[in-house]
Amino acid sequence: MAKVTVDGITVEVPDGSNVLQAAEAAGIEIPRFCYHERLSVAGNCRMCLVEIEKAPPKPFSSCSYPVADGMVVHTDTPMVRAARRGVMEFLLINHPLDCPICDQGGECDLQDQAMGYGGDASRFHEAKRARSDIDFGPLVRGVMTRCIQCTRCVRFAAEIAGVPEMGAYGRGEDTKIGTYVQKALTSELSGNLIDICPVGALTSRPYAFVARSWELNKTDSVDVLDAVGAAIRVDSRGPEVLRVLPRVNEDVNEEWLADKSRFSVDGLKRRRLDSCWVRREGRLEKATWPEAFEAIAAKLSGLAGERIGAVAGNLADAESMYALKALLASLGSANLDCRQDWAGGDVSRRDYYTFNTSIAGIEEADALLIVGANPRHEAPLINARIRKRWLRGGFPVAVVGAARDLTYPAETIGDGPEALRALLGGEGFAATLKAAKKPMIIVGQSALARTDGAAILAACWNLAAETGMLTPEWHGFNVLQTAAARVGALDLGFLPGPGGKGMAEMLGGGVDVMWLLGADEFNTAMIGASTFVVYQGSHGDRGAARADVILPGAAYTEKNGTYVNTEGRVQRGQLAVYPPGEAREDWKVLRAFSAYLEKPLPFDTLEALRGKMEAEYPTFARRDILPRFGCPDATAPAAAVEMGVRPFGEWFATYYQTDPISRASPTMAECVTAHAPVAAQAAE
């Protein structure tokens, strides 16, 4: 530790810190453009200049100057102020000052800091340098005349995203930031470039000229487009969600957000179900709530409970699943399932289906085996965390499944269950895992959602047990879920009850009434022709197309809901805007329908529902915080089947469209087109 005095405040900071960090520790803000705490230090913007006593009498860039014990730093002397003003003047020489037409206006570091250090008039009378715009693909807009060459984007692409496609080329005044060759960025994290760019050079293409930051209502929420549960801020104006930005959550997403989660918002306005629909003589017709309820009630009357079933979709909140489960119980049915993908496997213990190491825990691991998962597409933020760990070195990674670019080197040791058998025999990578102190395994859905999924889950667990991943101090067994609702649904036991039917039995006429709570991710043609389908959800997607009655529900930005991410972390999303038209929050729809049936569910408010849910399922009572835990009991999950031989496939056909919201999003559709050639090459 080094003792550093900044503007008279003495702080102790770890050796190797820089002066800027010491100043932050002392609570003093230093202006900066190029420095970013999660990126390597470049020291090229020169805005963070400070004066250091007993050092040569010149300003030092605090971000790149290491602290020493007893150092005395001044951040507000005449020299510092003059130096920063000089730097600002140089930065503004070639900056277009087009703030009125710049999307960054109002949330721009350069604009803000020019208030503190900029002159009131320009002394520059010559022609300004201009740059042609760069096409970075459908997500990021590059207005390069505004660029101040801080190289944050270059470092982000190379370090965090792991796609070293951006660079600073040319020299001196002619330095350009770009990709040199014209191409869309091949990263699932490219939207973060918009956040880290301190000026308006990289802005959001879909959000271009849409709104000003001060017009927006900002609602803290949680993302549901993958199972990571990233912290987000939903920015809305009136009834519209205009953009989604990440919030800092060190345990989950740090400060990044995946592109699908950020840019699918335009899907929230399209293909929406905003009124009830009832199928009459083969055609869906608009209906009122009482008409829709009457149609369902008529169908239900006299029906035995065992002929009624419900399926929870991938974006469902825990409250509505709890309410639906209660509704079906009141109808005498235990036919429930949340595994539209038929994912097999024992879910009797929570650590059989969650990401037990935790996302932050990845940074402690020292060897990784990925089985049947493509974290880059299934959970880009978890992939970024793996890459972060890999960058530190000493982190061998092996993959059982298709060979692909994960942004870090990974040895492909087989493509299916055969490789698992070999590993269980102690071959190859098993030795590496055994030698590691904190090895971990990630099992993906393409390994579990198959007929022999239960056996693969058990095999992976056994491998984990054999290679020392399961100790009382360390839990290295991880299931990578891809649906935001899945862990919550499993926690709630949204599964076939005693004597109940699962997904497979309900299809093909196994039930007479099937209630789909936003369930769109299965082949609806497999539903029996005579089955009466109630679709409750937000988007007119596959499920709604098959429905006999449609009940319009709320999307994740339109309701207060609880979600459990793949780690088992319970988090709450918040209502940012109201659902469109006649649509209502899903638990309210279910409560209202139960009243219509004169079997009212025992809660009238969301708080009452949550109180009951938490009493019945205590995991929901502990929100946001997830204590780390080991694995004191290494009993393997049960498996009644044998492992097959079929190789593990790709879980998502495309990263960009995986749920009703992203399928409704024109931006995501553009991404699919823009990245199609790349995907086609990869498939070859």
169 binds other proteins (CB under 8 A): yes
2 binds other proteins (CB under 8 A): no
Residues in contact with other proteins, total (CB under 8 A)?
13
Q: Name the amino acid, one letter, at 315.
A: L
* CA–CA separation, 531 and 477 (whole Å): 40
Q: Which is nearer to other proteins, 171 or 392 (CB)?
A: 171
Q: Which is nearer to other proteins, 172 or 498 (CB)?
A: 172
* CA–CA separation, 301 and 367 (whole Å): 57
Q: Which is nearer to other proteins, 124 or 169 (CB)?
A: 169
**Residue 632 burial (C-beta neighbours within 10 Å; 0-12, 13-18, 19+):** exposed
CB of 127 to other proteins, least distance (A): 17
Contacts of 45 (CB under 8 A, 6+ apart): 32, 33, 34, 35, 87, 91, 148, 150
Q: Name the amino acid, one letter, at 272.
A: R
CB of 431 to other proteins, least distance (A): 25
Residues 138-167 that bind other proteins (CB under 8 A): 158, 164-167
Listed ranges 13-21, 176-184, 236-244, 434-442: which one lies at the site for other proteins (CB under 8 A): 176-184
Q: Is 109 helix (H, G, I), strand (E, B) or coil?
A: helix
**Residue 173 burial (C-beta neighbours within 10 Å; 0-12, 13-18, 19+):** exposed
Out of 15, 180, 523, 608, the only residue in the binding site for other proteins (CB under 8 A) is 180
Out of 123, 171, 283, 392, the only residue in the binding site for other proteins (CB under 8 A) is 171
Q: What is the 3-state secondary structure (H, E, C) of 186-204?
A: CCCCCCHHHHHCCCCCEEE
Residues 213-272 that bind other proteins (CB under 8 A): none
CB of 155 to other proteins, least distance (A): 12
CB of 154 to other proteins, least distance (A): 8
Q: Which is nearer to other proteins, 172 or 302 (CB)?
A: 172
Among 233, 238, 239, 280, which Cα is nearest to 253's?
233
* CA–CA separation, 324 and 329 (whole Å): 8
What DSSP line would sit under 16-40, residue for residue? Answer: T-BHHHHHHHTT-----SS--TTS-
CB of 186 to other proteins, least distance (A): 12
What DSSP character marks residue 244? E
Q: Which is nearer to other proteins, 129 or 349 (CB)?
A: 129
CB of 169 to other proteins, least distance (A): 4
CB of 181 to other proteins, least distance (A): 7
What DSSP character marks residue 355? B
CB of 142 to other proteins, least distance (A): 13
CB of 184 to other proteins, least distance (A): 15
Q: What is the 3-state secondary structure (H, E, C) of 288-339?
A: CHHHHHHHHHHHHCCCCHHHEEEEECCCCCHHHHHHHHHHHHHCCCCCEECC
CB of 132 to other proteins, least distance (A): 8
CB of 195 to other proteins, least distance (A): 21
181 binds other proteins (CB under 8 A): yes
Q: Which is nearer to other proteins, 158 or 465 (CB)?
A: 158
Residues 408-447 that bind other proteins (CB under 8 A): none
CB of 164 to other proteins, least distance (A): 4
Cα torsion 420, 425, 429, 430: sign? positive
305 binds other proteins (CB under 8 A): no
Q: Which is nearer to other proteins, 179 or 358 (CB)?
A: 179
CB of 403 to other proteins, least distance (A): 18
168 binds other proteins (CB under 8 A): yes
Q: Which is nearer to other proteins, 395 or 603 (CB)?
A: 395
What DSSP line would sit under 532-574, residue for residue? Answer: EEEEEESB-SHHHHH-SEEEE---GGGS-EEEE-TT--EEEE-
CA distances from 259 to 212, 230, 404, 472, 668 (A): 21, 12, 19, 37, 9
Q: Which is nearer to other proteins, 170 or 666 (CB)?
A: 170
Q: Which is nearer to other proteins, 179 or 340 (CB)?
A: 179
129 binds other proteins (CB under 8 A): no
Out of 123, 173, 182, 683, the only residue in the binding site for other proteins (CB under 8 A) is 182
Among 446, 420, 445, 444, which Cα is nearest to 433's?
420
125 binds other proteins (CB under 8 A): no
CA atoms within 13 A on the CB side of 337: 23
Q: Which is nearer to other proteins, 62 or 407 (CB)?
A: 407
* CA–CA separation, 531 and 548 (whole Å): 9
For residue 156, give both structure tokens. 């982000």
Q: Which is nearer to other proteins, 124 or 180 (CB)?
A: 180
Q: Which is nearer to other proteins, 347 or 406 (CB)?
A: 406
Q: Judge whether 313 and 537 are in contact, CB under 8 Å.
A: yes
* CA–CA separation, 172 and 473 (whole Å): 54
By the criterion CB under 8 A, which residues form the site for other proteins? 158, 164-171, 179-182
